[in-house]
Amino acid sequence: MALSGQLLVLFLLAHLAGNSTFWAGLINAYAAHLHAFPPLVWLFRVALLALFALHVWQGTTLALENRAAKGGRYAVKRHDRSTLSSRTMIWTGLALAAFLIYHELHLTLQVVHPEAASAAHADAVGRPDVHRMLVAGLGHPVTTAVYAAGMIALGLHLFHGIASSVQTWGLNGPRSFPWVERAGAALALLIAVAFVAVPVAVFAGLVR
């Protein structure tokens, strides 16, 4: 569970680095370079899907095992150490799964807002116009709301998940773990805010 989660976080950081080209107006060049060898792209997508499916399966299994271990509802329920993030991991995970389906329909299969699909429009030098697709799609209030909700779920999921995955490897001492928790929370916030900044900026008209 920890390893698959950490690999997915590494993918998020790489994806975030690629997304940053949007701010410099280089997203079309980045996308063209990324898709220069389609078989490799699809191989990576299949591997990523398998990793995500493994993480979902492990998370669901763990949640069911924890529930079975309780043996019933508590007469009195108090939360001493748990957080909203840790108590809602299964729900934020399911929300992320639903968001990813929408995200793939929007930017990979391009069936959401097909009128702006990059595959059907070329930029000035003949590349698929990903920038135009993002601006047209993310400028829609429903699409912006879906992306914002997805990134809130991602932030909450990572807020507990990053520190928990590090704790699995044994870094849970009274001195080290508070620093791990703070670093994990900071990284979760950074990832969520950086991802949601694009749809918010487009919706607000700051990027055209």
* pLDDT tens profile 101-134: 999 999 888 898 888 898 888 999 999 999 999 9
Which amino acid, residue 107? Answer: L
Whose CA is closest to 118, among 100, 130, 105? 130
* pLDDT tens profile 29-83: 999 998 888 888 899 999 999 999 999 999 888 888 887 877 666 555 555 567 8
- Please tell me whether residue 189 adopts helix, strand or coil conformation: helix
Is the CB of residue 168 less than 8 Å from the CB of residue 113? no
Q: Please count the helices (runs of H) and the strands (runs of E) in the chain.
A: 8, 0
As a whole-number percent, the residues of the chain with pLDDT over 90 amount to 57
What's the confidence (pLDDT) of residue 12? 96
What's the confidence (pLDDT) of residue 166? 86
Is the CB of residue 207 less than 8 Å from the CB of residue 24? no
What's the confidence (pLDDT) of residue 73? 61
Compute the distance between CA of residue 30 and CA of residue 18 in angstroms, rounded to an integer: 7
Query: Where is average pLDDT lowest: 8-22, 131-145, 170-184?
Result: 170-184
As a whole-number percent, the residues of the chain with pLDDT over 70 amount to 94
Is the CB of residue 118 less than 8 Å from the CB of residue 106? no
Compute the distance between CA of residue 99 and CA of residue 132 in angstroms, rounded to an integer: 21
Looking at residue 127, what DSSP letter applies?
Answer: S
What's the confidence (pLDDT) of residue 2? 87
